[in-house]
C-alpha cells in the first residue's frame, strides 16, 4: 500500500469524511479540486480505483488531474515511460504514422521518451498528482527489448555485461508451446528479444530504473508480460543463476513496503497465477474480465458466477472491463459506452480487487479503435469522468470496509452489489428494457436518490428495496457518507474530424462556466459556448480551458493536415543492391475503422524503368496513406515498422 503525505488541511478534510461534519458540526462545503480529491480518493491504492490514461502524455495527465480527482480516482496508470524505439520516424499516431506498441519496445531503462514526454515533465506530473492525492502507477517492461537490437543503448548492453548476457540463449526463438515454462520464460514473445532477467547485472540496472521512478514520484508498477518472467521454482535457464527477479524487484526497491506492484498474468496455458500472486503481491484477473464482457454482451449478469475473481479465491487482483490488449486486438469491440459503464459498476462497486478503467482513445468505438484524433499524447474518451462513472468511484470510497454481496432480482435481469447495510449499486443488464426492482435489503428505511443521476429515487421500507431502473443504466444508492461532487466546467468542440483540408470550421462548447479560453498558434482568446472558430491549414493543436470555484478543466485537441494523393499519380523506388528484380509497392491506410490496401501483401508489382529504378501508378485516390517496398523477401521499411508517407512524384530509396 502507498500512503501519501497529508497536509493539515487535507487531514481535516479526511476527518470530515469519517464524521460527516466539519469541526463546527456543520455539513462540509467542498470548494476546491484539491480538497475534493483528498476526500474522495483513498491514499491506499489497493482500495481505490485506477484510471488507465492509455497513451496520454505526462502533460496531458497533469492538466487533467482536476477532472481525474473530481471523478474519484485513487490512481492514474501511465504507459511505459522508458526510452523506446522511435518507430515510424517518430510519428505520433496510435496506428499509422507511428504506433502505440512502440511504447513496449524498450531501448533503455531510463525515464522519458518521445511519445509521452521528458523526465522533467514526468516529475512535474507526479508532483501535481501528489497535490491531488492521486498516486502514479508506471507500466514497466522488463521482459524484452525492441526488436531492433541495433537500437538498444550501449549503456544497457554494457551494464548487462554484453549482448550475450543481456539476452537468454534462445532469445530469438519464438514461443511455440505456452505450456512449457522454460519456453514461456526464456523464448521470444511476439518476435521481441527475451531479456535474461536472471542476470544480476541486469537486475541491478533495472532496480536502479525503478528507484529513479520512485524518486521522481512513482507510487506503483504494473509489470508487463509478467507471466514470461520466471518464478523461483520454475526451471532455470542457467544453473548458476537463480530465478530471483521477483524477489529482488519487490524487496530491494526504495520504500518497498509502500509500493503497489501488480503483474500482467494472462490466464491460461500453465499461467501459475496463484504463484505470481505470492511473488508479486497482485496480478491481473483476465478470466474475470473475459467472463464479465461475455455477460455484458449477452445481457445477463449472474450474481453467483460473478462472485469471486477466478484467481483461486484471492482479492489481490486488478480487475477491468477491458484492457488495452483486448481493446487493440478487437476482442472487446462489441462493448459500447453503456456496456462499459455497467461493467465498471460491477467491478468498482465491489470491495474486493482494485478496478482499472481503461480509457479508450478520443472519438473511438469498439469498431473504430483509433478514434477521430488517432493521436498519442491526447486525452481519451470523456467517459472516464462521466457522472455515473464518478458516482460509482465515490460509492466505492464511501463504502470502504463494508462487506460485498452480489445478488440478482427482477427475474435475474438486475445485478445488485450490496455493501453491508450502507449502500447498493443496481445494474440493469438489459439495454432495451426498464426493470422494476423489489428486492430484500439491509439498508435502513428511507428515500435513496440515485447518485448516478440516471434514475429517480428508490425507497427502502421494512427490508425491501423498490424502484424503477431504466434500460441500460445503473443506480448508485447510499445516504450515509455521501458528499456532493465538484462541479467542474466542461470544455469541448463539435467536430467529427480532426483532418484539416484547407481549413476546418468548429464550434466551441462550454458548460459550467460563463466563459473559457482557447489557445491557438500561441495566442490565447476568450470564448463562450457556441462560438465558432476557423482553424487554418497547418493547425496542429488547440487547447481549451475553463475554471470555476471548484477547479479548472483543460482539453487539448490535435489536428492533421490532409495529404491527398490523386489517382494516376506516380511514385518511384530505387532498388537496393542485392534485391531481386521483381519489386512490389504495398500501399495502405490503417488509421480508420478497417485496413485499406491496394492489394494483399506484398502489394502490386512495379514497372522497371531501367537503371534499378521502378515506378508505380496509383489506380485510386489515397488520403494519408503509407507505402512499403519489397522484393518478396526483403522490404523497406523493415518488418514491424510503418510505411513511408505516400507522396505524389516521390522517388524513394533506402538510406545508405
**Active-site positions?**
224, 264
The DSSP code sequence of 304-345 is HHHSS-SSTT---EEEES--HHHHHTSTTTT--HHHHHHHHH
Q: Which helix (H) or strand (E) holds 53?
A: strand 50-53
Q: Give, as one character, the DSSP assignment of residue 179.
A: T
Q: How many CB atoms are closer than 10 A to CB 523? A: 7
What count of other Cβ atoms lies within 10 Å of the Cβ of residue 530? 10
Burial class (CB within 10 angstroms; exposed 0-12, middle 13-18, buried 19+) of 654: middle
Spatial separation of the C-alpha atoms in residues 77 and 135, rounded to whole Å: 9
- Greatest CA separation found in the chain? 91
Under DSSP, is residue 252 helix (H, G, I), strand (E, B) or coil? Answer: coil
**DSSP string over 490-557:** EEEEE-S--EEBSEEEEEEEEESSS-EEEEETTEEEEE-TT-EEEEETT--EEEEEEEETTEEEEEEE
Beta bridge partners of 516: 527
- Binning the chain into helix, strand and coil, the percentages to the nearest 5 are 25, 30, 45
Q: What are the cell numbers at 58?
A: 505526462
Q: What is the distance between the alpha carbons of residues 398 and 537, in angstroms, rounded to a whole number? A: 49
**What distance, in Å, lies between the first and last C-alpha atoms of the chain?**
52
Closest CA to 68 of 55, 81, 44, 49: 49
Query: What number of other Cβ atoms are within 10 A of residue 42's Cβ?
Result: 23
Counting Cα atoms < 13 Å in the Cβ hemisphere of 603 gives 26
E-strand stretches of 260-413: 260-263, 283-284, 317-320, 354-358, 404-409
Kindly write down the DSSP assignment for every residue of 453-501, as one continuous string: SSS--EEEETTEEEEEE-TT-EEEEE-TT--PPP---EEEEE-S--EEB
Q: Report residue 184 as a C-alpha cell.
A: 514461456
State the CB neighbour count (10 A cutoff) for residue 449: 16
383 membership: H or E segment, kind and range: none
According to DSSP, the β-strands at 474-478 and 560-561 are unpaired
- Where is 574: in which H helix or E strand? strand 570-574
Residues 6 or more apart from 285 whose CB is under 8 A from it?
Answer: 309, 310, 311, 317, 318, 319, 320, 353
The CA-based dihedral angle spanning residues 142, 145, 146, 150, taken in that order and rounded to the nearest 10 degrees = 150
Q: Are strands 260-263 and 220-223 parallel, antiparallel or unpaired?
A: parallel
Nearest CA among 231, 174, 407, 217 for reference residue 306: 407
Nearest alpha-carbon partner for 22 in 10, 13, 11: 13
8-state DSSP, 167: B
Contact 410, 437 (CB under 8 A): yes
Amino acid at each position: 500500500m502507498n500512503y501519501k503525505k497529508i497536509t493539515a488541511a487535507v487531514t481535516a478534510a479526511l476527518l470530515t469524511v469519517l464524521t460527516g461534519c466539519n469541526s463546527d458540526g456543520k455539513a462540509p462545503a467542498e470548494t476546491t479540486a484539491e480538497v475534493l480529491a483528498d476526500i474522495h480518493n483513498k491514499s491506499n491504492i489497493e482500495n481505490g480505483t485506477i484510471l488507465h490514461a492509455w497513451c496520454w502524455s505526462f502533460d496531458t495527465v497533469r492538466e487533467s488531474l482536476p477532472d481525474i480527482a473530481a471523478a474519484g480516482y485513487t490512481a492514474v496508470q501511465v504507459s511505459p515511460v522508458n526510452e523506446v524505439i522511435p518507430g515510424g520516424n517518430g510519428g505520433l499516431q496510435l496506428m499509422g504514422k507511428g504506433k502505440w506498441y512502440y511504447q513496449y519496445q524498450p531501448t533503455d531503462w531510463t525515464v522519458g521518451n518521445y511519445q509521452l514526454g521528458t523526465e522533467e515533465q514526468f516529475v512535474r506530473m507526479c508532483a501535481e498528482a501528489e497535490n491531488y492525492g492521486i498516486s502514479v502507477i508506471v507500466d514497466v517492461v522488463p521482459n524484452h527489448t525492441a526488436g531492433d537490437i541495433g537500437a538498444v543503448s550501449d549503456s544497457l548492453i554494457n551494464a548487462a555485461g554484453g549482448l550475450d548476457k543481456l539476452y537468454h540463449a534462445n532469445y530469438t526463438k519464438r514461443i511455440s508451446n505456452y505450456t512449457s515454462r522454460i519456453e514461456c520464460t526464456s523464448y521470444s514473445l511476439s518476435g521481441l528479444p527475451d531479456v535474461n532477467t536472471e542476470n544480476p547485472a541486469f537486475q541491478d540496472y533495472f532496480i536502479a530504473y525503478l528507484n529513479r521512478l520512485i524518486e521522481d514520484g512513482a507510487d506503483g508498477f504494473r509489470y508487463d508480460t509478467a507471466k514470461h518472467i520466471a518464478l523461483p521454482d520454475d526451471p532455470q535457464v542457467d544453473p548458476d543463476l537463480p530465478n530471483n527477479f521477483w524477489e529482488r524487484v519487490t524487496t530491494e526497491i526504495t520504500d518497498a513496503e509502500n509500493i503497489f506492484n501488480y503483474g500482467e498474468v494472462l490466464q491460461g496455458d500453465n499461467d501459475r497465477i496463484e504463484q505470481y500472486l505470492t511473488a508479486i503481491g497482485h496480478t491481473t484477473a483476465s478470466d474475470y474480465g473475459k467472463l464479465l464482457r461475455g455477460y455484458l454482451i449477452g445481457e445477463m449478469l449472474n450474481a453467483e458466477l460473478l462472485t469471486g475473481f477466478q484467481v483461486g479465491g484471492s482479492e489481490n487482483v486488478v480487475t477491468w472491463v477491458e484492457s488495452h490488449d483486448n481493446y487493440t486486438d478487437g476482442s472487446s469491440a462489441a462493448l459500447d459506452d453503456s456496456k462499459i459503464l455497467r461493467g465498471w459498476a460491477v467491478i468498482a462497486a465491489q470491495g474486493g480487487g482494485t478496478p482499472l478503467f481503461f480509457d479508450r482513445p478520443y472519438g473511438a468505438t469498439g469498431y473504430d479503435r483509433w478514434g477521430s484524433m488517432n493521436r498519442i499524447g491526447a486525452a481519451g474518451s470523456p467517459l472516464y469522468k462521466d457522472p455515473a462513472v464518478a458516482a460509482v468511484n465515490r460509492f466505492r470510497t464511501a463504502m470502504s470496509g463494508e462487506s460485498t454481496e452480489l445478488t440478482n432480482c427482477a427475474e435475474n435481469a438486475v445485478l445488485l452489489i450490496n455493501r453491508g447495510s450502507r449502500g447498493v449499486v443496481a445494474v440493469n443488464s438489459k439495454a432495451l428494457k426498464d426493470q422494476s426492482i423489489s428486492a430484500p435489503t439491509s439498508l435502513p428505511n428511507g428515500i435513496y436518490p440515485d447518485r448516478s443521476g440516471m434514475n429517480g429515487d428508490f425507497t427502502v421500507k421494512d427490508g425491501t428495496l423498490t424502484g424503477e431502473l431504466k434500460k441500460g443504466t445503473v443506480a448508485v444508492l447510499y445516504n450515509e457518507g455521501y458528499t456532493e461532487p465538484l462541479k467542474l466546467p466542461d470544455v469541448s468542440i463539435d467536430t467529427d474530424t480532426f483532418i484539416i483540408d484547407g481549413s476546418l470550421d468548429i464550434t466551441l462548447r462550454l458548460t459550467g462556466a460563463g466563459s473559457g479560453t482557447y489557445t491557438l498558434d500561441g495566442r490565447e482568446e476568450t470564448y463562450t459556448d457556441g462560438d465558432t472558430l476557423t482553424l487554418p491549414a497547418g493547425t496542429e493543436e488547440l487547447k481549451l480551458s475553463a475554471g470555476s470555484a471548484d477547479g479548472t478543466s483543460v482539453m487539448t485537441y490535435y489536428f492533421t493536415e490532409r495529404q491527398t494523393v490523386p489517382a494516376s499519380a506516380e511514385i518511384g523506388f530505387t532498388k537496393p543492391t542485392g534485391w531481386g528484380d521483381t519489386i512490389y509497392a504495398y500501399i495502405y491506410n490503417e488509421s480508420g475503422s478497417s485496413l485499406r490496401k491496394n492489394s494483399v501483401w506484398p502489394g502490386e508489382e512495379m514497372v522497371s524503368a531501367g537503371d534499378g529504378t521502378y515506378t508505380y501508378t496509383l489506380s485510386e485516390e489515397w488520403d494519408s496513406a503509407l507505402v512499403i517496398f519489397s522484393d518478396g523477401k526483403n522490404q523497406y521499411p523493415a518488418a514491424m515498422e510503418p510505411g513511408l508517407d505516400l507522396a505524389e512524384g516521390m522517388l524513394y530509396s533506402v538510406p545508405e
